[in-house]
Amino acid sequence: MDYTFLGRTGMRVSRLALGTMNFGSTNSERESFEIMDRALDAGINLFDTANIYGREAPDESVRRTGIAEEIIGRWFAQGGQRRERVVLGTKVYIRMNDPLDGANDKSGLSLYKIRRHLEGSMRRLQTDHVELYQMHHVDERTTWEEVWGAFQPIVESGAVDYIGSCNFGARHLCWAQEAAKERHFMGLVSEQSSYNLTSRWTELELLPAAQKMGIGVLTWGPLGGGMLSGHVLDSKFGTRGYERLAQLTPAKRKQLEDYSQLCRELGEKESEVALAWILSNPAVTAPLIGPRTVEQLESCIHATEIVLDEETLTQLDEIFPGPGGPAPQAYAW
């Protein structure tokens, strides 16, 4: 496993980040333990979760949240230096269905919520600190004065090492960093953003901005919601619960057929080439993977060994055209 620095920090993280959204829902605790053990053995040290991951009921209004964190906490409790070897990231923003929050059981980034929810996350994770505490979304209502007023003390206390964001626009990164600079605070060190061959809009603004400011980028949805999994054109695809993706336009079908043909010529799986393409971008720290099985994890690990040459990258650009580069060059020059 290769490693890189998380943005402008001195902390090294693996080029793959293990996402745990499936823990407690798609994956049982036993399966989750197996995936984490194999990931750690393979050298993946960046584990990403959120306080809302995992569920016991499909009804959003009644589900119990925090299950994925609880599973990770019990995995840490087994010992074997599991906790010491993991760079742990979790998130705050979305409502937790906690009756103790009362009127504040809403999504947001108030100082009140950040403090309470960090305490809850650390309790479930059975840890006294978190390496990367991330804002799950932008809170347009709460001022940066309050947001950094919440995060800066928990960093200074040692409860959290670094602060990250998720689903921010480039403008939000700039506003956040300007406000942090006024406080002589490091501010953001990472941003989680959607990015894959079928969705390349972040190339316009977010990736260039993050790279310029030394903010590492962790990408979610590397397979485009299953479009790049290699199963969309499979005759059995509809039986796997992805009927909406099976209803392709002729243009999209042709695109996926061309992609599948290129991957066959390379001798690699579609899902692995999709990950290798993300890894080839110097602005990306690591794609977030969410394997449901150990076998899928092994496939993701293999993707780190694939090197795409310039000819192949050009072919991928032809199949999945991006916006044309960063703004404004993409449309004004």
Q: What is the pLDDT of residue 231?
A: 85
Residue 263 binned pLDDT confidence (cut-offs 50, 70, 90): very high
Q: Is the pLDDT of residue 189 over 60?
A: yes
331 included as an active-site residue: no
d(CA 153, CA 234): 52
Full-model pTM: 0.92
Which residues share a beta bridge with 3? 14
The residue that leads in pLDDT, 277 or 106, is 277
**Lowest model confidence (mean pLDDT) among 55-59, 185-189, 190-194, 228-232:** 55-59
Mean pLDDT of 74-85: 97
Query: Among 3, 53, 195, 242, which one carries the catalytic annotation?
Result: 53
Mean pLDDT of 39-43: 98
Neighbours of 3 (CB within 10 A): 14
For 130-175, the pLDDT digits (tens) are 999 999 999 999 999 999 999 999 999 999 999 999 999 999 999 9
Q: What is the pLDDT of residue 317?
A: 97
d(CA 126, CA 70): 8
Q: What is the pLDDT of residue 58?
A: 46
Q: What is the pLDDT of residue 233?
A: 81
d(CA 62, CA 27): 20
Q: What is the pLDDT of residue 243?
A: 62
Residues 6+ apart with CB under 8 A from 93: 107, 108, 109, 135, 136, 137, 139
- DSSP code for 64: P
Residues 6+ apart with CB under 8 A from 16: 1, 44, 46, 275, 286, 287, 289, 300, 301, 303, 304
d(CA 25, CA 292): 10
Q: Is the pLDDT of residue 241 over 50?
A: no
Residue 57 binned pLDDT confidence (cut-offs 50, 70, 90): very low
The residue that leads in pLDDT, 237 or 25, is 25
Nearest C-alpha neighbor of 89 from the set 72, 77, 74? 72
Q: What is the pLDDT of residue 267?
A: 97
At 276 the three-state DSSP class reads: helix
Mean pLDDT of 36-55: 95
Q: What's the gap between Cα 290 and its chain centre? A: 9
Domain assignments of the chain as residue spans, ordered by start: 3-229+269-314
Mean pLDDT of 277-294: 97
Q: Is the pLDDT of residue 87 over 70?
A: yes
Q: Is the pLDDT of residue 61 over 90?
A: no
d(CA 133, CA 125): 13
d(CA 35, CA 76): 13
Residue 116 binned pLDDT confidence (cut-offs 50, 70, 90): very high
Mean pLDDT of 304-310: 96
d(CA 44, CA 33): 14
Q: What is the pLDDT of residue 246?
A: 62
The sign of the torsion formed by the CA atoms of 111, 113, 116, 121 equals: negative
In the chain, pLDDT over 70 holds for what percent of residues?
A: 93
**Length of the chain (residues):** 333
Output the six-digit token pair for 281: 């971008």
d(CA 130, CA 164): 12
Phi and psi at residue 188, to the nearest 5°: -80, 140
Which superfamily is assigned to 3-229+269-314 in CATH? NADP-dependent oxidoreductase domain (3.20.20.100)
At 6 the three-state DSSP class reads: coil
d(CA 199, CA 203): 9
Q: What's the gap between Cα 175 and its chain centre? A: 22
**Lowest model confidence (mean pLDDT) among 9-13, 86-90, 225-229:** 225-229
Q: What is the pLDDT of residue 21?
A: 95
At 228 the three-state DSSP class reads: coil
d(CA 162, CA 216): 12
Q: What is the pLDDT of residue 248?
A: 82
Residue 82 binned pLDDT confidence (cut-offs 50, 70, 90): very high
Residue 322 binned pLDDT confidence (cut-offs 50, 70, 90): very high
In the chain, pLDDT over 90 holds for what percent of residues?
A: 83
